[in-house]
């Protein structure tokens, strides 16, 4: 064997041995560097994946109907012979070289004339298996092109990163990260009302805590309804402008919110505006976010007439807030294990008003179906696949799109810091004397 070949072989073996070790990953983690894609990916994983994509592209395109039949080769089959239904000379679509990203790689594909992105959407799962990657997302940002985004590994393993220090948009909170590694933003300006479902210990309360943590620095009034004695939302104490800890207080609080909506309507009508966001900033009321932990507690009855009347009134008031509040700066975030017609009247109608849907781990298919069934059937299957070890992982659906995401864990110290934050002054323009609820952590 030539000496040069021996040297190159030994060098390759040494590099391979180094790349298969994990001694640098703890150092990266201890320095605060995201080790989701360690240096081993950049040195060996990315080149190997990029070459695999390049080599398998022609066959993958042919097997998944992405190639088109060009003019037949007449030197082989003659001048007048055609084989109907068979690609005589398949030509795959042109693609760019896969470029690395923070969490995988991305490539752009030019569609053939007459093609649509639909076959590429259907071929995403085939690409995952062919390229040995965690996930493939196909989008079409421009006419005649599709962008294929490859996620190398599951970014939802481990803890979600701490949000950055950049100033967030008003009514937008960074609560974790999505499966493509990007920040998970809940934007109440784009989607005014949200529904959060999931079994016990699945991560609903952690997500609500992350939302409160993200909104607390903003000039936004937060009011809470926690009929479990305030054990969850009560942690945030004085940051809440109001907190109802039982259904009687919840009725009073929701009545005050509906009166506030009515008063804001009169302000917009007098100013000739259709929304509070059209008003000058100085004359605009403070945005109001109503957070409900365990919605079913508002609908449960003990069989008495008074209990049934309270449950029905709660359903009516919540429905009015959902129908009228979006344009007036009043938003709903509702959480519960099940949100269906079996827990009380008007729940199905209320659910239809909640455009943002988040489903954590569920015990049965019906619970996931209630949350995501009208968005996408595949999202229901994905929600059912979440295991007990994946606390905080959820399927997020909005505007017909869906993705997996994971909320960050709010520590006790962070909750205590939020509890000492002062809420905006005078969030309610009207405050009926008959309203009974807990305000600022003390009984009114």
So what's the pLDDT on residue 33? 35
Strand, coil or helix: 442 = strand
So what's the pLDDT on residue 53? 93
So what's the pLDDT on residue 270? 92
Of the candidate CATH numbers 3.30.980, 3.30.70, 3.40.50, 1.10.3470, the domain formed by 33-151 belongs to 3.30.980
**Most confident among 224-233, 257-266, 346-355 (mean pLDDT):** 257-266
So what's the pLDDT on residue 5? 63
Q: What is the dihedral of CA 247, 250, 251, 256, to 10 degrees?
A: 170
So what's the pLDDT on residue 431? 56
pLDDT tier for residue 52 given thresholds of 50, 70 and 90? very high
Summarize the confidence of residues 21-42 as an average pLDDT. Answer: 46
**How far apart are the C-alpha atoms of 420 and 406, rounded to whole Å?**
27
DSSP per position, 96-155: PPPEE-SSEEEEEEEPPTT--SHHHHHTHHHHHHHHT-SEEEEE-SSTTEEEEEEE-S-T
The sign of the torsion formed by the CA atoms of 432, 228, 215, 187 equals negative
pLDDT tier for residue 238 given thresholds of 50, 70 and 90? confident
Q: Pick the residue with more confidence: 173 or 436?
A: 173
In the CATH scheme, what is the code of domain 172-443? Answer: 3.40.50.300
pLDDT tens digits, one per residue of 129-152: 999 988 888 888 889 999 998 888
Judged against a pLDDT cut of 90, whether residue 109 lies above it is answered with: yes
Which tokens hold the place of 331? 């938003």
* Average pLDDT score over the chain: 81
Summarize the confidence of residues 341-355 as an average pLDDT. Answer: 84
pLDDT tens digits, one per residue of 199-228: 888 889 899 999 999 999 999 999 999 988
Reference 98, options 90, 87, 109, 88; nearest CA is 109
Q: Where are the domains of the chain?
A: 33-151, 172-443
So what's the pLDDT on residue 158? 58
pLDDT tier for residue 367 given thresholds of 50, 70 and 90? confident
Lowest mean pLDDT across 83-92, 170-179, 316-325: 83-92
């Amino acid at each position: 064997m030539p000496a040069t070949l021996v040297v190159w072989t030994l060098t390759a073996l040494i590099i391979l041995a180094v790349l298969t070790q994990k001694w640098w990953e703890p150092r990266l983690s201890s320095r605060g560097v995201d080790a989701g894609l360690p240096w081993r990916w950049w040195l060996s994983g990315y080149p190997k994946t990029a070459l695999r994509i390049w080599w398998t592209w022609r066959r993958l395109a042919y097997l998944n109907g992405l190639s088109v039949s060009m003019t037949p080769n007449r030197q082989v089959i003659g001048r007048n012979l055609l084989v109907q239904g068979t690609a005589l000379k398949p030509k795959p679509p042109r693609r760019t070289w896969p470029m690395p990203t923070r969490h995988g790689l991305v490539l752009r594909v030019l569609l053939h004339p007459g093609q649509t992105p639909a076959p590429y959407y259907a071929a995403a799962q085939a690409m995952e298996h062919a390229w040995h990657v965690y996930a493939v997302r196909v989008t079409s940002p421009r006419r005649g092109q599709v962008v294929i985004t490859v996620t190398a590994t599951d970014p939802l393993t481990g803890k979600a990163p701490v949000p950055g220090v950049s100033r967030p948009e008003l009514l937008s909170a960074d609560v974790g990260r999505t499966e493509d590694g990007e920040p998970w933003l809940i934007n109440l300006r784009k989607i005014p009302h949200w529904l959060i479902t999931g079994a016990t210990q699945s991560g609903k309360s952690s997500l609500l805590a992350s939302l409160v943590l993200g909104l607390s620095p903003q000039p936004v009034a937060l009011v809470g309804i926690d009929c479990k004695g305030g054990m969850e939302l009560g942690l945030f104490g004085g940051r809440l402008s109001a907190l109802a800890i039982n259904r009687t207080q919840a009725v009073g609080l929701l009545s005050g919110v509906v009166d506030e909506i009515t008063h804001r309507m009169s302000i917009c009508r007098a100013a000739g505006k259709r929304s509070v966001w059209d008003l000058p900033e100085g004359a605009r009321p403070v945005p109001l976010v109503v957070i409900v932990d365990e919605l079913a507690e508002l609908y449960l009855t003990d069989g008495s007439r008074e209990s049934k009347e309270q449950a029905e009134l709660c359903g009516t008031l919540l429905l009015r807030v959902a129908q009228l509040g979006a344009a007036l700066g009043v938003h709903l975030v509702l959480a519960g294990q099940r949100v269906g017609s079996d827990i009380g009247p008007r729940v199905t109608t209320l659910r239809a008003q909640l455009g943002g849907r988040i489903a954590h781990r569920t015990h049965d298919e019906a619970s996931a179906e209630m949350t995501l069934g009208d968005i996408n059937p595949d999202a229901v299957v994905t929600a059912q696949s979440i295991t007990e070890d994946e606390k905080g992982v959820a399927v997020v659906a909005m505007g017909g799109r869906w993705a997996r995401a994971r909320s960050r864990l709010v520590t006790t110290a962070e909750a205590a810091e939020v509890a000492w934050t002062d809420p905006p002054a005078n969030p309610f323009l009207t405050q009926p004397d008959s309203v009974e609820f807990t305000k600022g952590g003390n009984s009114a």
